[in-house]
Amino acid sequence: MINLKLVLIILFAEMWGVGGQLLYKTGVNKAGTPDLRDHRSYVSFIKRIIGIPQIWLGFISVVIGMCVWLTALAQADLSIAFPIDSMQYIITLVAAHYLLGEKINKMKLLGTLLVMCGVIIVAMS
Amino acid sequence: MTPMRKNNLPVSMIALIIIMMASESIAQIFMKTGLNAIGMNNISFSNFAEFALKSATSLYVLLGLLIFFLNFFIWITVLSRVDLSIAFPICGISYIFVPMLAMIFLHETISPMRWAGIILIIAGVSLVAKSAQVETMPL
Protein backbone atom coordinates (compact mmCIF):
# COMPACT_ATOMS: atom_id res chain seq x y z
CA MET A 1 0.00 0.00 0.00
CA ILE A 2 1.57 3.22 -1.14
CA ASN A 3 1.45 6.03 1.35
CA LEU A 4 -0.33 8.76 -0.61
CA LYS A 5 0.59 11.50 1.82
CA LEU A 6 4.26 10.70 1.42
CA VAL A 7 3.99 10.67 -2.37
CA LEU A 8 2.42 14.13 -2.21
CA ILE A 9 5.14 15.44 0.14
CA ILE A 10 7.87 14.23 -2.21
CA LEU A 11 6.13 15.70 -5.25
CA PHE A 12 5.76 18.94 -3.28
CA ALA A 13 9.53 18.91 -2.60
CA GLU A 14 10.18 18.33 -6.28
CA MET A 15 7.95 21.17 -7.30
CA TRP A 16 10.14 23.57 -5.28
CA GLY A 17 13.33 22.01 -6.61
CA VAL A 18 12.31 22.10 -10.27
CA GLY A 19 10.79 25.58 -9.81
CA GLY A 20 14.12 26.74 -8.41
CA GLN A 21 16.01 25.41 -11.43
CA LEU A 22 13.58 27.13 -13.81
CA LEU A 23 14.04 30.39 -11.90
CA TYR A 24 17.85 30.01 -12.03
CA LYS A 25 17.76 29.46 -15.76
CA THR A 26 15.38 32.39 -16.33
CA GLY A 27 17.64 34.62 -14.22
CA VAL A 28 20.87 33.47 -15.84
CA ASN A 29 19.41 34.04 -19.30
CA LYS A 30 19.12 37.72 -18.37
CA ALA A 31 22.78 37.93 -17.32
CA GLY A 32 24.32 36.89 -20.62
CA THR A 33 27.29 34.59 -21.13
CA PRO A 34 30.62 35.36 -19.44
CA ASP A 35 33.91 34.92 -21.27
CA LEU A 36 35.62 32.40 -18.98
CA ARG A 37 39.12 33.36 -20.16
CA ASP A 38 38.61 36.94 -18.99
CA HIS A 39 38.19 37.39 -15.25
CA ARG A 40 36.71 40.89 -15.63
CA SER A 41 33.96 39.49 -17.79
CA TYR A 42 33.28 36.83 -15.13
CA VAL A 43 33.24 39.35 -12.26
CA SER A 44 30.75 41.56 -14.08
CA PHE A 45 28.65 38.44 -14.82
CA ILE A 46 28.56 37.59 -11.10
CA LYS A 47 27.63 41.18 -10.27
CA ARG A 48 24.71 40.99 -12.69
CA ILE A 49 23.70 37.61 -11.24
CA ILE A 50 23.57 39.02 -7.70
CA GLY A 51 21.20 41.75 -8.88
CA ILE A 52 18.68 39.40 -10.50
CA PRO A 53 15.63 38.59 -8.31
CA GLN A 54 14.94 35.25 -10.05
CA ILE A 55 18.33 33.95 -8.88
CA TRP A 56 17.49 34.73 -5.24
CA LEU A 57 13.97 33.34 -5.58
CA GLY A 58 15.43 30.24 -7.23
CA PHE A 59 17.87 29.81 -4.36
CA ILE A 60 15.10 30.10 -1.76
CA SER A 61 12.96 27.65 -3.75
CA VAL A 62 15.78 25.08 -3.99
CA VAL A 63 16.48 25.35 -0.24
CA ILE A 64 12.77 24.89 0.59
CA GLY A 65 12.73 21.87 -1.72
CA MET A 66 15.70 20.34 0.09
CA CYS A 67 14.11 20.91 3.51
CA VAL A 68 10.84 19.30 2.40
CA TRP A 69 12.79 16.38 0.87
CA LEU A 70 14.71 15.84 4.13
CA THR A 71 11.46 15.86 6.08
CA ALA A 72 10.07 13.24 3.70
CA LEU A 73 13.23 11.11 3.88
CA ALA A 74 13.06 11.04 7.67
CA GLN A 75 9.74 9.19 7.55
CA ALA A 76 9.84 7.61 4.12
CA ASP A 77 10.05 4.12 2.89
CA LEU A 78 13.07 4.62 0.61
CA SER A 79 11.76 2.12 -1.92
CA ILE A 80 9.08 4.61 -2.90
CA ALA A 81 10.92 7.84 -2.08
CA PHE A 82 13.67 7.47 -4.70
CA PRO A 83 11.52 6.45 -7.67
CA ILE A 84 9.19 9.38 -7.06
CA ASP A 85 12.13 11.72 -6.50
CA SER A 86 13.79 10.77 -9.77
CA MET A 87 10.69 11.91 -11.62
CA GLN A 88 12.29 15.34 -11.29
CA TYR A 89 14.34 14.54 -14.41
CA ILE A 90 11.29 14.12 -16.59
CA ILE A 91 9.42 17.00 -14.91
CA THR A 92 12.40 19.30 -15.54
CA LEU A 93 12.57 18.24 -19.18
CA VAL A 94 8.88 18.91 -19.78
CA ALA A 95 8.91 22.18 -17.82
CA ALA A 96 12.04 23.42 -19.64
CA HIS A 97 10.29 22.71 -22.94
CA TYR A 98 7.00 24.42 -22.17
CA LEU A 99 8.19 27.24 -19.92
CA LEU A 100 11.64 28.04 -21.31
CA GLY A 101 11.12 26.95 -24.92
CA GLU A 102 13.99 24.45 -24.88
CA LYS A 103 13.93 21.84 -27.59
CA ILE A 104 13.19 18.18 -26.96
CA ASN A 105 14.24 15.49 -29.39
CA LYS A 106 13.98 11.71 -29.17
CA MET A 107 17.62 11.34 -28.18
CA LYS A 108 17.31 13.79 -25.29
CA LEU A 109 14.08 12.18 -24.11
CA LEU A 110 15.55 8.67 -24.23
CA GLY A 111 18.76 9.83 -22.49
CA THR A 112 16.79 11.52 -19.72
CA LEU A 113 14.65 8.40 -19.20
CA LEU A 114 17.79 6.22 -19.01
CA VAL A 115 19.35 8.56 -16.41
CA MET A 116 16.11 8.42 -14.45
CA CYS A 117 16.03 4.60 -14.43
CA GLY A 118 19.75 4.41 -13.61
CA VAL A 119 19.37 6.79 -10.67
CA ILE A 120 16.46 4.75 -9.28
CA ILE A 121 18.48 1.50 -9.52
CA VAL A 122 21.64 2.98 -7.97
CA ALA A 123 19.74 4.73 -5.18
CA MET A 124 17.79 1.61 -4.26
CA SER A 125 20.41 -1.11 -4.63
CA MET B 1 26.19 34.23 -44.84
CA THR B 2 25.83 30.90 -43.08
CA PRO B 3 24.50 31.19 -39.54
CA MET B 4 27.10 30.53 -36.88
CA ARG B 5 26.78 27.04 -35.46
CA LYS B 6 26.54 27.21 -31.71
CA ASN B 7 27.87 24.23 -29.83
CA ASN B 8 25.25 23.64 -27.14
CA LEU B 9 27.56 21.69 -24.91
CA PRO B 10 31.25 22.70 -24.98
CA VAL B 11 33.70 20.25 -23.39
CA SER B 12 34.59 22.89 -20.77
CA MET B 13 30.98 22.80 -19.53
CA ILE B 14 30.97 18.99 -19.28
CA ALA B 15 34.19 19.31 -17.26
CA LEU B 16 32.57 21.90 -14.97
CA ILE B 17 29.56 19.63 -14.33
CA ILE B 18 31.86 16.69 -13.53
CA ILE B 19 33.92 18.84 -11.12
CA MET B 20 30.71 20.11 -9.53
CA MET B 21 29.14 16.68 -8.98
CA ALA B 22 32.40 15.08 -7.78
CA SER B 23 33.02 17.86 -5.27
CA GLU B 24 29.38 17.69 -4.21
CA SER B 25 29.82 13.99 -3.35
CA ILE B 26 32.89 14.89 -1.30
CA ALA B 27 30.93 17.69 0.39
CA GLN B 28 28.19 15.20 1.31
CA ILE B 29 30.80 12.94 2.92
CA PHE B 30 32.25 15.94 4.83
CA MET B 31 28.81 16.98 6.03
CA LYS B 32 27.96 13.45 7.13
CA THR B 33 31.29 13.09 8.96
CA GLY B 34 30.81 16.46 10.65
CA LEU B 35 27.21 15.81 11.65
CA ASN B 36 28.06 12.32 12.93
CA ALA B 37 30.80 13.86 15.09
CA ILE B 38 28.27 16.32 16.52
CA GLY B 39 26.17 13.29 17.34
CA MET B 40 22.76 14.86 17.82
CA ASN B 41 20.05 12.66 16.40
CA ASN B 42 16.99 14.34 17.85
CA ILE B 43 16.87 17.86 16.56
CA SER B 44 13.85 19.86 17.60
CA PHE B 45 13.02 23.50 18.19
CA SER B 46 14.32 23.32 21.76
CA ASN B 47 17.85 22.22 20.88
CA PHE B 48 18.10 23.75 17.42
CA ALA B 49 20.30 26.63 18.66
CA GLU B 50 22.76 24.14 20.15
CA PHE B 51 22.74 22.14 16.89
CA ALA B 52 23.32 25.28 14.79
CA LEU B 53 26.18 26.41 17.04
CA LYS B 54 27.87 23.01 16.96
CA SER B 55 27.48 22.80 13.17
CA ALA B 56 28.87 26.29 12.68
CA THR B 57 32.01 25.36 14.60
CA SER B 58 32.54 22.00 12.91
CA LEU B 59 35.33 22.19 10.32
CA TYR B 60 33.80 19.38 8.24
CA VAL B 61 30.37 20.99 8.14
CA LEU B 62 31.88 24.35 7.19
CA LEU B 63 34.01 22.75 4.45
CA GLY B 64 30.92 21.02 3.09
CA LEU B 65 28.97 24.27 3.07
CA LEU B 66 31.88 26.06 1.37
CA ILE B 67 31.87 23.49 -1.43
CA PHE B 68 28.07 23.83 -1.82
CA PHE B 69 28.53 27.61 -2.02
CA LEU B 70 31.26 27.40 -4.69
CA ASN B 71 29.23 24.86 -6.66
CA PHE B 72 26.38 27.36 -6.86
CA PHE B 73 28.64 29.59 -8.98
CA ILE B 74 29.73 26.66 -11.14
CA TRP B 75 26.09 25.73 -11.75
CA ILE B 76 25.14 29.31 -12.66
CA THR B 77 28.09 29.42 -15.07
CA VAL B 78 27.02 26.14 -16.67
CA LEU B 79 23.44 27.41 -17.06
CA SER B 80 24.73 30.55 -18.78
CA ARG B 81 25.85 28.36 -21.68
CA VAL B 82 23.84 25.15 -21.57
CA ASP B 83 20.11 24.42 -21.74
CA LEU B 84 18.60 23.32 -18.42
CA SER B 85 17.15 20.24 -20.14
CA ILE B 86 20.71 19.20 -21.07
CA ALA B 87 22.64 20.24 -17.95
CA PHE B 88 20.14 18.83 -15.44
CA PRO B 89 20.12 15.15 -16.51
CA ILE B 90 23.93 15.21 -16.77
CA CYS B 91 23.96 15.97 -13.03
CA GLY B 92 22.69 12.39 -12.62
CA ILE B 93 26.36 11.37 -12.76
CA SER B 94 26.51 12.29 -9.05
CA TYR B 95 25.00 8.84 -8.44
CA ILE B 96 28.10 7.30 -10.01
CA PHE B 97 30.64 9.07 -7.80
CA VAL B 98 29.59 7.81 -4.36
CA PRO B 99 29.78 4.07 -5.27
CA MET B 100 33.03 4.71 -7.19
CA LEU B 101 34.61 6.59 -4.27
CA ALA B 102 33.46 3.85 -1.90
CA MET B 103 35.01 1.23 -4.19
CA ILE B 104 38.34 3.05 -4.56
CA PHE B 105 38.87 4.30 -1.00
CA LEU B 106 36.81 1.94 1.15
CA HIS B 107 37.31 -1.16 -1.04
CA GLU B 108 33.58 -1.77 -1.04
CA THR B 109 32.28 -3.98 -3.81
CA ILE B 110 29.65 -2.76 -6.24
CA SER B 111 26.74 -5.16 -6.71
CA PRO B 112 25.79 -6.25 -10.27
CA MET B 113 22.47 -4.42 -9.88
CA ARG B 114 24.29 -1.22 -9.01
CA TRP B 115 26.65 -1.65 -11.96
CA ALA B 116 23.58 -1.94 -14.19
CA GLY B 117 22.30 1.38 -12.82
CA ILE B 118 25.69 3.03 -13.31
CA ILE B 119 25.83 1.84 -16.93
CA LEU B 120 22.28 3.15 -17.56
CA ILE B 121 23.25 6.56 -16.16
CA ILE B 122 26.40 6.72 -18.32
CA ALA B 123 24.40 5.70 -21.42
CA GLY B 124 21.68 8.25 -20.64
CA VAL B 125 24.15 11.09 -20.00
CA SER B 126 25.95 10.26 -23.26
CA LEU B 127 22.68 10.40 -25.20
CA VAL B 128 21.68 13.71 -23.63
CA ALA B 129 25.14 15.15 -24.39
CA LYS B 130 24.88 13.87 -27.96
CA SER B 131 21.43 15.43 -28.34
CA ALA B 132 23.02 18.84 -27.72
CA GLN B 133 24.86 18.47 -31.00
CA VAL B 134 21.92 17.00 -32.87
CA GLU B 135 19.95 20.18 -32.22
CA THR B 136 22.46 22.29 -34.09
CA MET B 137 22.83 19.90 -36.99
CA PRO B 138 21.34 21.29 -40.20
CA LEU B 139 18.29 19.33 -41.24
The pLDDT of residue B5 is: 47
What is the rounded distance in angstroms from the CA atom of residue A62 to the CA atom of residue B115?
Answer: 30
Residues of B with CB under 8 A from a CB of A: 12, 72-73, 75-77, 79-81, 83-86, 88-89, 92, 95-96, 99, 111, 113-114, 116-131, 134-135
Confidence of residue B79 (pLDDT cuts 50, 70, 90): very high
B121 within 8 A of A122, measured Cβ to Cβ? yes
Position with higher pLDDT, A3 vs B97: B97
pLDDT digits (tens, 9 = 90+) for A107-119: 999 999 999 999 9
* C-beta of residue B135 within 8 angstroms of C-beta of residue A105: yes
Residue B82: DSSP 8-state: S
* Contact (Cβ atoms closer than 8 angstroms) between residue A47 and residue A31: no
Q: Give the separation between CA A48 and CA A69, rounded to whole angstroms.
A: 31
Report the pLDDT value the prediction gives residue B108, as an integer from 0 to 100. 83
Mean pLDDT (whole number) for B29-49: 80
pLDDT value of position B10: 85
Residues near A78 by beta carbon (within 8 Å), at least 6 away in sequence = A123, A124
- Please check whether residue A14 is in contact with residue A85, taking contact to mean a CB–CB distance below 8 angstroms: yes
Q: B114 CA to chain A: closest CA distance, Å? A: 5
pLDDT of residue A37: 87
Compare A123 and B121 and report the one with higher pLDDT.
Answer: B121
What letter would DSSP give residue A105? Answer: -
What is the DSSP-derived secondary structure letter of residue B56? H
Average pLDDT, chain B: 85
Nearest by CB to B95, from A96, A114, A122: name it.
Answer: A122
Q: What is the pLDDT at residue B2?
A: 45
| pLDDT bucket at B48, cuts 50 / 70 / 90 | confident
Model confidence pLDDT, tens digit, residues A76-105: 777 788 888 899 999 999 999 999 999 999
- Give the A-side interface with B, CB within 8 Å: 21-22, 24-25, 28, 31-34, 36, 42, 45-46, 49, 55, 59, 89, 92-93, 96-97, 100, 102-105, 107-108, 110-123, 125
Please write the tens of the pLDDT for every residue from A29-83: 999 888 888 899 999 999 999 999 999 999 999 999 988 888 887 777 777 888 8
Minimum-distance CB partner of B114 among A107, A112, A122 = A122
Residues of B in contact with A82 (CB under 8 A): none
Q: Which of A71-75, A85-89, B92-96, B133-137 has the lowest mean pLDDT?
A: B133-137
- Phi then psi for residue A51, to 5 deg, are -85, 0
Please tell me the distance from the alpha carbon of residue A43 to that of residue A36, in angstroms, as a whole number: 10
Reported ipTM: the value is 0.90
Give the pLDDT of residue A43: 93
pLDDT at A71: 81
CA distances for B75 relative to A14, A79, A84, angstroms: 18, 29, 24
| pLDDT of A2 | 66
pTM, two decimal places = 0.86
Instruction: Kindly indicate the confidence band of residue B46, based on its pLDDT and cuts at 50, 70 and 90.
Output: confident
- Is the separation of the CB atoms in A125 and B113 below 8 Å? yes
